Amino acid sequence: MDQLIQKGASLIGQAEKILIFTGAGLSTESGIPDFRSPGGLWDRYDPEEFYLQNIVSDDKCREKYWQVHEESYRVMKQALPNPGHIAIKELEQTGKLLAIVTQNIDRLHHRAGSSPDKILELHGTAFMIECLTCGRSYDRDVMVDRVRQGVKALYCDDCSGILKPATISFGQTMPEDKLTESFLHAQDCDLCIVLGTSLVVYPAASVPEQAVNSGAKLIIINLDITPLDSIADLVIHDSVGKVLGGIVDMVLERS
């Protein structure tokens, strides 16, 4: 493991423009279950029920959607950044970090102290509510109070449009601006570090592929194998927090 840590530190030391790409495996180390893992939400509920068209057209489906989402939100709100999030924030201090492209909706990168303008949330955030009609945004906790007071489905104060968490639901397109910016960073970076993701959810998983195709080095730290392991310059199947923390500590010591 020491040799792998040293190689990771060397790759970062040689890089000038680093792109971080994070997934659920980083958040699980903060106690947030992966939706797709055994015991996760999609193991206990049928995701087919929560396609955007069902949320919009079916009142009962929308009420159940809010119930399920509140369950996951409570866990996210209590979670704290782990050593992996802190290591990313410390890596930013080197001045080499282009951006953090994340599939996570838990805002743990923000709470760890990473610069908000460097964070691209491809799947949105659970901490805001949005109107599907006029686009108005609401703070999640304000809406949580209404749900706890017995409101089963929420509507916009301005236009009476349907409200939902500002996350990307099944059947909903990802934000084009953030996806475009992510691909631009992938084309520009000389090192892409993939953390805690199986790289099977598209189009997000195309971002590291674009980085490699543009000539960047690739580091993958994930518990399980990924489709890009065979083309990565360094693969470590272990805890993201432990490994990345060790790598960044060595980078900072050398600098």
Give me the active site residues, please: 123
Six-digit token string for 223: 């518990």
Q: Say if residues 6 and 251 touch (Cβ distance below 8 Å).
A: no
Q: What does the block give as tokens for 206?
A: 């195309």
DSSP letter assigned to residue 17: S
| DSSP code at position 221 | E
- For residue 22, list its beta bridge partners: 102, 195
Structure tokens at 234: 């360094």
Q: How far apart are CA 23 and CA 240, in angstroms?
A: 11
| Consecutive H or E run containing 43 | helix 41-44
Helices (H) and strands (E) in the chain, counts: 11, 9
Non-local (6+) Cβ contacts of 151 within 8 A are none
